[in-house]
Amino acid sequence: MRKPTATRREELMTAGAKLFASRGYHSVGVEEIGRALGLTGPALYRHFPSKQALLVAVFDRVIERQLADVRKTVESAKGPDAALEALVAGHVDFALSERELLATWRQEFANLSADDSSRLRRMQRLYVEEWVHVLTSVRSDLCDDEARAVVHAAIALLQSPNEYNSGLQPEVLRALLSSMALAALHESHSPLTRALPIPIHPVPVERGAGGE
Amino acid sequence: MAAAEQPKTPDAPKRVRRRSADRRQELLGVAARLFASRGYYSVTVDDIGEALGLTGPALYKHFASKEALLVAVFDAVIAQQTERMHEVLAGASTPAEALPAIVRLHLDFAIEQRENMSVWRQEFHNLPEEDGWRLRRAQRLYVEEWVHVVHALEPGLSDAEVRAVVHGILGMLQSPSEFLSGLPTETLASLLSGMALAALKGAKPGEKPNEQKPAGRRKAAQTA
């Protein structure tokens, strides 16, 4: 059984994460988080030195959970192709359900202490390495550094909804992003794509069929 | 700069205005350069003024704060990229020809604007409302140029699906601004361009939630 203090701490984190997601990290006051659990006064400070400390704890919890999931996926997958599909599926689910947290991460990461950002970065690296390990089994044309760049690009694609909102239904978005990521991950290293030279006499772009 | 030697001709106010506009441009150029080379947070307004021999009121006449300089840099960067996009589109005779060119254009942009993109991520939500509004609008218009090209190539996708595809591709092409792979630019460009084109070809929206269809691809993608 968990000790009472650990439970309360977890509850505060969950309440905080929910409030940050709906109203944005900066708009949420410390008392509000306690109040969400029926606590009065700065109840938060009994468990966290600051709002930022709570945010960091939420980041820690989320990334630890992702790392554990990914390890389980890789260990139980029936081969690298299946592992890659499962990694993509796991990450798109994560990206869509933790959209606001990821947006907060992008904004606040630079404000964290050196210790906190270093620890979180390390976990991020370990997460990426699991992907790199799987991808290099699938793609013999890539060296490690190339595989890492490819993984970062695929992850950025899956996380694109946290910067832009297309308004698509989650199921459709999930299918779209997964199919795009898998296609991109499997694409073999193609020859250089050069930018078109700008002609002296520009030709208007032919507007395709089916205009607005 | 010459002191008040201006003859009292009708031309004088125009010349002063032009010098003032040039000065503003110079400051902007220096700011952009210093932000890129030293990092936005390390640069002070004095650093910027010093590069042009300007201090205090002479500097603040043009820009009220470092943040105002940042906003002006963002404005200029987006405007320049949009202009380049228009040139590329004008030079392509079909959407199929345009696509690899705009992919390469955005990738080069992400690499060139690494520092600015990083600062944007951290500072955008802090900017004054009207600046944020104007920059968002400029960003939207740039994205719509992409949507127009992709829609022509993928007429089976709905408008919202095309936009989500574009967001995904742009996000992917921007990954070098967040992760320094150390790969040579041409290798990176080749890799990411290939990925972007493959992602577009491979984009499948899947069935809508209220449709009853055999699962197929979607089932395969679910976690074990």
The string of pLDDT tens digits covering residues B47-76 is 998 888 888 788 888 898 999 999 999 999
First vs last C-alpha separation in chain A: 60
Q: Cβ contacts (< 8 Å) between A207 and chain B: which residues?
A: 148, 152
Confidence of residue A148 (pLDDT cuts 50, 70, 90): very high
**CA-wise closest residue to A183 among B165, B55, B63:** B165
Confidence of residue B12 (pLDDT cuts 50, 70, 90): confident
Alpha-carbon distance values, A168 to A63, B42, B74, B95, B100 (Å): 26, 40, 29, 24, 26
Nearest-5° angle of CA B38, CA B45, CA B76? 75
pLDDT at B92: 97
Span of A65-74, A103-112, B131-140 with lowest mean pLDDT: A103-112
Q: Which of A146, A152, A198 sits opposite B87 (nearest CB)?
A: A198
* Token pair listed for A29: 């006051």
Residue A196 to chain B, least CA–CA distance (Å): 6
Q: Do B206 and A198 touch (CB under 8 A)?
A: no
* Residue B165 in contact with partner chain A when CB distance is under 8 A: yes
Q: Do A197 and B91 touch (CB under 8 A)?
A: yes
Q: Give the list of residues 6+ apart from residue A13 with CB closer than 8 angstroms, or none.
A: A54, A57, A58, A61
Confidence of residue A93 (pLDDT cuts 50, 70, 90): very high
Mean pLDDT score across all residues of chain B: 88
Mutate to test the interface with A, among B107, B127, B179, B183 (most CBs of A within 10 A): B179
Q: Over pLDDT 90: what percentage of chain B?
A: 67
**CA-wise closest residue to B82 among B24, B153, B135, B159:** B135
Mutate to test the interface with A, among B81, B167, B170 (most CBs of A within 10 A): B167
Confidence of residue A71 (pLDDT cuts 50, 70, 90): very high
pLDDT at A176: 97
Pick the residue with more confidence: B82 or B122?
A: B82
pLDDT at B91 over 50: yes
Q: Cβ contacts (< 8 Å) between B191 and chain A: which residues?
A: 146, 149-150, 153, 189
pLDDT at A124: 96
User: Phi and psi for A206 in degrees, rounded to 5?
Assistant: -75, 120
CA-based torsion, B113, A190, B147, B90: positive or negative = positive
Nearest-5° angle of CA B151, CA B157, CA B161? 90
pLDDT at B37 over 60: yes
Distance between CA B71 and CA B87 in Å, rounded?
24
Q: Over pLDDT 90: what percentage of chain A?
A: 71
pLDDT at B195: 97
Q: Which of B121, B165, B195 sits opposite A150 (nearest CB)?
A: B195
Distance between CA B91 and CA B97 in Å, rounded?
9
pLDDT at A2 over 60: no
User: Phi and psi for B63 in degrees, rounded to 5?
Assistant: -140, 125
Q: Cβ contacts (< 8 Å) between B202 and chain A: which residues?
A: 179-180, 182-184
Residue pair A87/B224 in contact by the 8 Å Cβ criterion: no
pLDDT at B58: 80
pLDDT at B9: 63
Q: Do B90 and A187 touch (CB under 8 A)?
A: no
Q: Which residue has the tokens 């009472």?
A: A4
pLDDT at A164: 82
Distance between CA B190 and CA B173 in Å, rounded?
11
pLDDT at B196: 97
pLDDT at B213: 44
Span of A207-211, B3-7, B58-62 with lowest mean pLDDT: A207-211
Average pLDDT of the residues in B75-97:
97
Please give the model's pTM, rounded to 2 decimal places.
0.84
User: Chain A, 106-145: which have a CB under 8 Å from a chain B CB?
Assistant: 106-107, 110, 145
Average pLDDT of the residues in A147-160:
97
Mean pLDDT score across all residues of chain A: 88
Q: Give the list of residues 6+ apart from residue A72 with CB closer than 8 angstroms, or none.
A: none
Pick the residue with more confidence: A204 or B92?
A: B92
pLDDT at A15 over 80: yes
Q: Do A171 and B208 touch (CB under 8 A)?
A: yes
Q: Give the list of residues 6+ apart from residue A7 with CB closer than 8 angstroms, or none.
A: none
ipTM above 0.90, yes or no: no
User: Chain B, 78-117: which have a CB under 8 Å from a chain A CB?
Assistant: 87-95, 97-98, 100-101, 103-105, 108
Q: Do B198 and A183 touch (CB under 8 A)?
A: yes
Residue B154 to chain A, least CA–CA distance (Å): 10
User: Chain B, 5-64: which have a CB under 8 Å from a chain A CB?
Assistant: none
Nearest-5° angle of CA B9, CA B15, CA B16? 105
Average pLDDT of the residues in B65-92:
96
User: Chain A, 43-72: which have a CB under 8 Å from a chain B CB?
Assistant: none
* Token pair listed for B30: 């220096």
